[in-house]
Amino acid sequence: MNQGITFEQAFNKYILHQRVVGVGFQQPKPVLLSNGYYAYPCGYYTLYENGYRMIVSGASLGSTPIQEAMILDPDGVPIDRDTEDIRND
């Protein structure tokens, strides 16, 4: 998934300063990654003028709340993602 760049670099390159042209919800769909495994990106997304999308979601792993952001290329293939623990302690 990661093409040798950090999530921040991918965000700055593909998302920052792009105009939003749509929003929607993507059902899970299999996409083949460069490592031979499949990813199933899904969730509410923001579509940008360059064709890239970003899906941001929240969940919990046990009692730990997390937030995940994923950047998808115009073909829907994840190019990078970031998961953070968002506890307030």
- Domain range list for the chain: 7-85
**DSSP codes of every residue in 8-32:** HHHHHHHTTTPPEEEEEEE----EE
pLDDT at 1 over 70: no
pLDDT of residue 82: 86
Query: Residue 89 — pLDDT band, cuts 50, 70, 90?
Result: low
Task: Quote the pLDDT of residue 57.
Answer: 84
Give pLDDT, residue 16. 97
- Tens of pLDDT along 20-43? 999 999 999 899 988 899 989 999
**Average pLDDT over every residue of 54-64:** 81
Does residue 73 sit in helix, strand or coil?
coil
